[in-house]
Structure formats: structure tokens, C-alpha cells
């Protein structure tokens, strides 16, 4: 294909514009000829950065493919084998990841619906009492745990959380975690700059959520995102999703902002009214996350606090919200824009969850437990321990 860069125009440029606008990375423009202008170039760079592509602002084959793939999320269309022209997209990738998590060998998750993906899907359908037609539609998605149901009922006793934690065992494998990236869709959360060049909270926490999701899946956990990048459910809906998914833990990721550029640092929140009821497990997890991240990043300590916020209150499992730095602070923002830092944050959170399930039986000082060690420990324990 022809490379697209600044100064180009025509239908291929229009297609790139449309894709980036749909993702919310590019401000929509009115009708008129589609130009590859500076805002578009910035949007392409932002997209490339988020996808781990070379950030050159030029649309070549890899970026073009990624743009096309990114427009699909699971549930948008029926997925099935097409040997002539295999379906590709983020939805296929999500399906493969889910099948792998559930123990069905769909091959390496590559976002291409091939023969092995179909085989794995058929096996899954057979095991779950569906007709093994190899097609992934609404019914199959429901069985895969992707479509949430409406939730009824209130929050059970906080003591039950502790009981469940003690029964849960130290292994991460099999634990179901809902990762809740704050904001989403048109709501970008905290924001610095304007238009497509803006650095947004939603973009940053979405990226950290994906890094965390990948690590959790590798550790044998079931990591579910509370929503796709296009959606912004209310906090009550996010809590409902976690409840219907039967999550063990909910992790809500945010970045803060303040009118003062001097404000900076890391804070963690768990359910509590401040005067009486407190989720002790939530508090413990918030404390572990807080300590691990402080030790690994040297952000300023803004404390651990009880809050009666909806997401923390309506969830029936321990839930923690972290505010990872301030977008309005130069130093915090520079850190957040570094993918290496976002990896460190993801790793720190994963280790904190591991600590929660170890119930204090670890011998590693805060900040020193590595992801590799977590994986190794997981591998060394008998699978039957769950
Ligand atoms: Zn936020």
C-alpha cells in the first residue's frame, strides 16, 4: 500500500480520519476534503504510541492494519472461520485470549481467526453444552462471560469478604479480577492540552489496564475489563458488571488532576464511611497497592483513604481505586507518558494482589517482588491447590 503522511489527501486519508475519530483520538471535522493535516498526524502518533508501534506519524501497512483491527471489539460482529479471507481484529484477539484463559488452545493470540481458533471455540462450545458450530455470536459470548447481566441485590456483610479471602488460597491462578479503567468513550477524564494532542486520563489508564490484564492472564488469572474503550458506564454499572462477573477483586484505575500544578502523588481508596463500616480486605489491598507503587515509583505518598463512592460501595467484593499521579503535574505526567513506568505500575499492582492472597506469608520486602518471581511461584505450586 501507499504510505500516507502529512500533506496527503483522498479517500484513504478519509478512512484513517474516520477510524481515529471513532476511537476518540481525533476531533471530528465537518464535511469537506479529507486532508492529512497536523492534527491528524498527532492523532496517528498517539494511536501508534498506544499500540506499541513506531511513533512516526506515518500510516504504513502496520499502522493501517492496527487501525482497522482496533475498530472491532468483541460482540460487534459474528466471528467465524473464513478460509478465503480470515477475519482479523481486536475482537478476534480478545476471543483468543479468553479461550486461552479458559484453557482452550487457540494458538498464539494473534488477532486472526484461523483454524486453531475455530477448533478451540468448538471445544469450548461442546464443553458448555452449546452446538459446536465454531461461530462466536451472542450466545457464545454470554457463555464466555463477556455479556454482563443485570444485577439485583445489595452489598453483603463485609466480614464475608474476609472469610472468602482466607478460603481463596495463595494462588493467583483462577482468581477473577475486574480491571476498571476510569472514564472512557467521550469522557476522557483529566486532560492536558487540546484536541488530538491532548494527554488524557482515559488514554493512560486504558493503557495501564491492558498491561495489567496481560500480566494477570499470564499468571493464570481471569482478568476482565469493566468496559471497552468506546464506552463510559456509570460507576453503578461498573459495579454491576463486577458483581455479575463474580469477581474476586475490583481494581479501578484513575489519574488525578488539580488546578495547582504543584499537586502530585499517589492515593488509594477502599470502601468505608470514615466513621464506621470499612472493608478491611479492601483496606488491606489498597495498602499493598499503595506501598508497592510508592516503593517502585517514588511518587509522593498521598495516603490510603476510606470512601463511600458508588464503585466501592456497590461492589460485593473488595474494590480499590487508585489515583496514579496528577496529570497537571509536570513530573507525574512525564512519568505517566513513559511506557516503562506504566509497566512498573502494572507489575506493582499485580504483586500487591499476590500479597493479598499470601495473607502476609511472604518474605519479600515491599517493592522487590518481581513479576517473574510471581509467575515462578505460580508454576511451582500444584494446580490442584485451588
Ligand atoms: Zn478519573
CA 53 to ligand 1 center in whole angstroms:
26
Q: Per-residue pLDDT for 48 more than 70?
A: yes
Interatomic CA distance for residues 347 and 344, integer angstroms: 5
Pairing of strands 301-307, 266-271: parallel
Whole-prediction pTM: 0.58
Cell reading at 352:
500487591
Q: Average pLDDT, stretch 27-37?
A: 83
What secondary structure does DSSP assign to 286-323, as a single string? Answer: HHHHHHHHHHHH---EEEEEEE--HHHHH-SS-EEEEE
User: What three-state secondary structure class fits 373?
Assistant: helix
Q: Number of helices and strands (H, E) in the chain?
A: 14, 8
Q: What pLDDT does 193 receive?
A: 87
CA 342 to ligand 1 center in whole angstroms:
16
- CA 129 remoteness from chain centre: 30
Cβ–Cβ < 8 Å for 121, 140:
yes
Q: What pLDDT does 207 receive?
A: 96
CA 277 to ligand 1 center in whole angstroms:
24
* Least confidently predicted of 137-141, 352-356, 374-378: 374-378
Cell reading at 168:
481463596
CA 257 to ligand 1 center in whole angstroms:
8
Q: Per-residue pLDDT for 159 more than 70?
A: no
Backbone angles phi, psi at 179, to 5 degrees: -100, 125
- CA 132 remoteness from chain centre: 30
User: What three-state secondary structure class fits 249?
Assistant: strand
CA 370 to ligand 1 center in whole angstroms:
28
CA 44 to ligand 1 center in whole angstroms:
24
CA 64 to ligand 1 center in whole angstroms:
31
- Sequence-distant (6+) residues with CB within 8 A of 200 are 183, 188, 189, 190, 191, 192
Dihedral Cα 270, 203, 342, 74, nearest 10 deg = 90
CB within 5 A of ion ligand 1: which residues? 182, 189, 254
Interatomic CA distance for residues 380 and 319, integer angstroms: 28
CA 321 to ligand 1 center in whole angstroms:
10
CA 97 to ligand 1 center in whole angstroms:
27
Q: Average pLDDT, stretch 240-245?
A: 92
The DSSP call for residue 143 is: H
Q: Average pLDDT, stretch 38-59?
A: 88
CA 29 to ligand 1 center in whole angstroms:
27
Dihedral Cα 119, 64, 200, 197, nearest 10 deg = 180
CA 177 to ligand 1 center in whole angstroms:
20
CA 183 to ligand 1 center in whole angstroms:
6
The whole-chain average pLDDT of the chain stands at: 85
Q: Per-residue pLDDT for 147 more than 60?
A: no
CA 205 to ligand 1 center in whole angstroms:
9
pLDDT digits (tens, 9 = 90+) for 290-341: 999 999 998 999 999 988 788 988 888 899 999 999 999 999 999 999 999 9
CA 328 to ligand 1 center in whole angstroms:
13
Amino acid at each position: 500500500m501507499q504510505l500516507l503522511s502529512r500533506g496527503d489527501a483522498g479517500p484513504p486519508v478519509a478512512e484513517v480520519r474516520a477510524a481515529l475519530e471513532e476511537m476518540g483520538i481525533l476531533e471530528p471535522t465537518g464535511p469537506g476534503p479529507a486532508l492529512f493535516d497536523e492534527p491528524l498526524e498527532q492523532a496517528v502518533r498517539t494511536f501508534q504510541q498506544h499500540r506499541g508501534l513506531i511513533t512516526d506519524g506515518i500510516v504504513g501497512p502496520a499502522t493501517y492494519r492496527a487501525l482497522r483491527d482496533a475498530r472491532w471489539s468483541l460482540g460487534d460482529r459474528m466471528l467465524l472461520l473464513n478460509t478465503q479471507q480470515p477475519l482479523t481484529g481486536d475482537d478476534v484477539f480478545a476471543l483468543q485470549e479468553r479461550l486461552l484463559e479458559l484453557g482452550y488452545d487457540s494458538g498464539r493470540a494473534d488477532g486472526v481467526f484461523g483454524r486453531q481458533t475455530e477448533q478451540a471455540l468448538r471445544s469450548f462450545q461442546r464443553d458448555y453444552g452449546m452446538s459446536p458450530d465454531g461461530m462466536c455470536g451472542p450466545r457464545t459470548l454470554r457463555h464466555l462471560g463477556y455479556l454482563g447481566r443485570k444485577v439485583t441485590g445489595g452489598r453483603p456483610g463485609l466480614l464475608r469478604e474476609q472469610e472468602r479471602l482466607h478460603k481463596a488460597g495463595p494462588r493467583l491462578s483462577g482468581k477473577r479480577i475486574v480491571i476498571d479503567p476510569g472514564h472512557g468513550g467521550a469522557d476522557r477524564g483529566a486532560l492536558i492540552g487540546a484536541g488530538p494532542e491532548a494527554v488524557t486520563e482515559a488514554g493512560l489508564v486504558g493503557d495501564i489496564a491492558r498491561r495489567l490484564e496481560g500480566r494477570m492472564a499470564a499468571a493464570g488469572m481471569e482478568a476482565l475489563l469493566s468496559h471497552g474503550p468506546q464506552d463510559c458506564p456509570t460507576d453503578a454499572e461498573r459495579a454491576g458488571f463486577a458483581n455479575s462477573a463474580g469477581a474476586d477483586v475490583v481494581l479501578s484505575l484513575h489519574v488525578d488532576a488539580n488546578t495547582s500544578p504543584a499537586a502530585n502523588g499517589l492515593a488509594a481508596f477502599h470502601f468505608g464511611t470514615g466513621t464506621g463500616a470499612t472493608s478491611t480486605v479492601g483496606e488491606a489491598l489498597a495498602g499493598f497497592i499503595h506501598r508497592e507503587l510508592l516503593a517502585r515509583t517514588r511518587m509522593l505518598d498521598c495516603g490510603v483513604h476510606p470512601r463511600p463512592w458508588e464503585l466501592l460501595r456497590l461492589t460485593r467484593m473488595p474494590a480499590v481505586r487508585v489515583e496514579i499521579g496528577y496529570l497537571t503535574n509536570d513530573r507525574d505526567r512525564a512519568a505517566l507518558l513513559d511506557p516503562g513506568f506504566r509497566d512498573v505500575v502494572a507489575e506493582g499492582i499485580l504483586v500487591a494482589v499476590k500479597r493479598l492472597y499470601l495473607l502476609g506469608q511472604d518474605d519479600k520486602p515491599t517493592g522487590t517482588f518481581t513479576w517473574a518471581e510471581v509467575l515462578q511461584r505460580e508454576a511451582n505450586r500444584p494446580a490442584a491447590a485451588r
